[in-house]
Amino acid sequence: MTTVSIGQLERARKNFSAILSRLASVGQSNVAKELGVAESTISRLKSEGDLEQFAKLLAAVGLKAVPVELRCYDPKDIDPLLQLARRHLAQVASAEQLAFDDPE
């Protein structure tokens, strides 16, 4: 059996938590209807540890469970924007400096 890294275990725990949380908010019966299965099937997935196993699988292949409304961005694309924002905001002492003057 292969050794699982601490990072993978933490990711698996977070995956499992995200899955359970979303399952609770959406509702088991709604999920069952979407999948075309009985609600008891969803309950069994939870009670027999299949959802936890799935969360571990996601972590093992380098994936994570996140809500669909979240967006992922490559740090190489975001880091330059953050650097520019920090540089500009470092020069701002108050909100008044950000106000535009009306042309007269």
Query: What tens digit of pLDDT does each residue of 62-94 get?
Result: 999 998 888 888 889 999 999 999 998 888 888
The two tokens of residue 89 are: 């905001």
What are the extents of the domains in the chain?
6-98
- Is the model's pTM score more than 0.85? no
* Exposure of 5 in the CB half-sphere (CA atoms within 13 A): 7
Cβ pair 90, 44 in contact under 8 A = no
Q: What is the pLDDT of residues 22-43, one digit of tens each?
A: 999 999 999 999 999 999 999 9
- Is domain 6-98 given the CATH code 1.10.10.10 in the classification? no
